[in-house]
Amino acid sequence: MELRADFPIFRDSTGEHPLVYLDNAATTQKPQTVINRLTEFYAHENANTHRGLYPLSLVATDAYENARVVLQKFINAPSADEVIFTRGTTEGINLFAYSWGRTFLQAGDEIIVTEMEHHSNIVPWQEAVRATGAVLKWVPVKDGELDLDVYDSLLSNKTKLVAVGLVSNVLGTINSVKEITARAKKFGALVLADGAQAAAHMAMDVQDLGIDSLAMSAHKMYGPTGIGALWVRGELLDTMPAFMTGGNMIEDVRHDGAVYQTRAHKFEAGTMPIAEVIAMTPMIEWIQNVGFEKIRAIEDEVTRYAMEKLGAIDGMIMYGTKNLSHRAPVFPFCLSDVHPHDVADTLGSMNICVRAGKHCANPLHNALGVAATTRASLAIYNTTDDIDRLVEGLNEVKRIYE
Amino acid sequence: MDSSRELILDHMKHPRNYGALADATHIQNEVNPACGDEMKVYVKISGDVIKDISYEGQGCSFSMAGGSLLTEHVKGKRVKEVSGMSEDDMLALFRGPVSPARLKCALLAYGTLRKILSE
């Protein structure tokens, strides 16, 4: 596949057991253009951004701010100054939970989360309600999808925020966030969407979804680690106090106080990961060059193949919805009584990379009634050959452990 | 398959000293929340000797084989001697390298027994 050739990690992996990388929900591999951009910046363009009056700094600032515009367009945000660079989804949600949560939540207010959220979209809200006396409500999972009847029954005028993932990192469920948001809006609640697992697989249009905030991580969409973004609707962002304070986010500091910058810049304290921000531009260009239509078509084909081949293995228990139109390419499973750690360890010895455990989703595993699962998660470069290797590996696991 | 792997599989599939101990003087539960592994160790201490020991639990090959290897190793030994057992001594029972990802599993039974002996 020609797309695969853009990723040097596969080009360099040859021999008896070439790399089969099926842990893309944890992090994706990086195309050469993204890697090159990081190197080019450090080799030829390195300077701190903002307020440098010399050309090198101006060039770096331009590239940094250009990435903000590229990202704005990618998620169809109304304005680039609503796009805050963060360390990733976790930091983005924490930023919102600290800044908005501790300012506006009051005792008795309610936040709705779902049982299929990643811990990063649960624990910041647990902390926020602990600090304010607000209450956390949970939407349960039924047959791999959110139970929207229960969701309806949870919504009320007390609901101040709904925090929901666009795609589950364990089940791969594509949640109907547009519908969830429309229902929340009837009660005047805000909606924050966790886009970490969606970004590499489907278009995210914040205006079409109607949401108020979106968090994402570059490293799960073919970009660098340590960088991501939080989009917050402008008028809402204007009401939120600074999260971290210090250099860069300042307009003026006096003995008796300080004046902060506005919008996104108010939330970017200290020197940011400049190279990583700048490398998000070729990351998004790479995704857009392929296009989400093609991405979805390729991933759908491999998904269908995987569901069929994995489902045919004796002793295989697969979790998640069977409705493939609601499903991103993530497959959690249990194989007979073999512990997921043993499954992943054995596959690892064959250079097949999958993850085993609870995948930072303990409440979901409790709801599923399993201690742990093995998870294979795909990206655009995975092929049906990778699935064949996985099936071979799982047969080897059965041979050893059964 | 290497000999360490064979040893682990043997102890996982044919665990020694598995099950409850009716006349246990000490019982301790432990869980590894990261992977959900559960371990329960029963010990019968008489004087300064571990007269009998058993374990029950559920988990991966390393945690379950660890219970089997440990109970086999310490049964009949003096409490003082077993108390002096280090983590490395426990890992040595696996007769091969234990990768960092499996350390917690491999040490689950050992940690459970230590809780009893440190009382």
Per domain, the residue ranges of chain A are: 3-27+292-401, 34-288
How high is the pLDDT of residue A273? 98
- Which segments within A233-344 are labelled E, that is strand? 250-254, 257-260, 316-318, 330-335
Q: Which chain B residues touch A371 with a CB distance below 8 Å?
A: 35-37, 58
Q: In chain B, which residue's Cα lies nearest the Cα of A349?
A: B1
Total domains in chain B come to 1
- Return the ∠ at Cα B53 (arms to B48 and B58), rounded to 5°: 145
Can you tell me the distance from the alpha carbon of B9 to that of A256, in angstroms, rounded to the nearest whole number? 68
Q: Which of A50, A51, A77, A87 is nearest to A65 (CA)?
A: A50
> Cβ distance A350 to A393 under 8 Å?
yes
CB contact under 8 A, A371 and B101: no
> Cβ distance A285 to A33 under 8 Å?
yes
| ipTM of model | 0.86
Say if pTM beats, i.e. exceeds, 0.90.
Answer: yes
Q: Is A371 on the interface with B (CB under 8 A)?
A: yes
Of the candidates A341, A358, A400, which has its C-beta nearest B60's C-beta? A341
Which of A59, A360, A367, A391 is labelled catalytic?
Answer: A360
Q: List all residues 6 or more positions away from A18 whose beta carbon is below 8 Å from its beta carbon.
A: A10, A351
Partners of A310 in the β-ladder: none
How high is the pLDDT of residue B1? 63
What is the CATH superfamily name and number for domain A3-27+292-401?
A: Aspartate Aminotransferase, domain 1 (3.90.1150.10)
Of the candidates A339, A345, A365, which has its C-beta nearest B59's C-beta? A339
Closest chain A C-alpha to B60 CA, distance in angstroms: 5
**Which residue's entry shows tokens 């991933």?**
A299
Backbone angles phi, psi at A132, to 5 degrees: -120, -10
CB contact under 8 A, B35 and A341: yes
Query: Tokens representing A21?
Result: 């990388």
How high is the pLDDT of residue B32? 84
pLDDT digits (tens, 9 = 90+) for B68-108: 999 999 999 999 999 999 999 999 999 999 999 899 999 99
Q: Which residues of chain A have pLDDT under 50?
A: none
Q: Distance between alpha carbon A319 and the CA centroid of its chain, in Å?
A: 20
pLDDT digits (tens, 9 = 90+) for A70-124: 999 999 999 999 999 999 999 999 999 999 999 999 999 999 999 999 999 999 9
Could you list the residue range(s) of the whole structural domain that residue B34 is in?
Answer: 3-117
CB contact under 8 A, B35 and A365: no
CB contact under 8 A, A400 and B1: yes
Q: Is A327 on the interface with B (CB under 8 A)?
A: no
CB contact under 8 A, A365 and B105: no
Q: List all residues 6 or more positions away from A153 whose beta carbon is below 8 Å from its beta carbon.
A: none
> Cβ distance A183 to A155 under 8 Å?
yes
How high is the pLDDT of residue A1? 63
- Structure-model confidence comparison of residues A6 and B32, the more confident one: A6
**Strand pairing class (B37-46; B49-58):** antiparallel
Q: Is B100 on the interface with A (CB under 8 A)?
A: no
Q: Is B35 on the interface with A (CB under 8 A)?
A: yes
Of the candidates A339, A365, A400, which has its C-beta nearest B60's C-beta? A339
- Range 52-91 of B in CB contact (< 8 A) with A: 58-62
Q: Is B9 on the interface with A (CB under 8 A)?
A: yes
Judge whether A360 counts as a catalytic residue: yes
Can you tell me the distance from the alpha carbon of A30 to that of A227, in angstroms, rounded to the nearest whole number? 14
Percent of chain B with pLDDT over 90: 86
Reported CATH class of domain A34-288: alpha beta
Query: Tokens representing A313?
Result: 């293995």
Tell me, what CATH number does B84's domain have?
3.90.1010.10
Using DSSP's 3-state secondary structure scheme, residue A90 falls into helix
> Cβ distance A191 to A139 under 8 Å?
no
Q: Is the sign of the CA dihedral A59, A65, A68, A69 positive or negative? A: negative
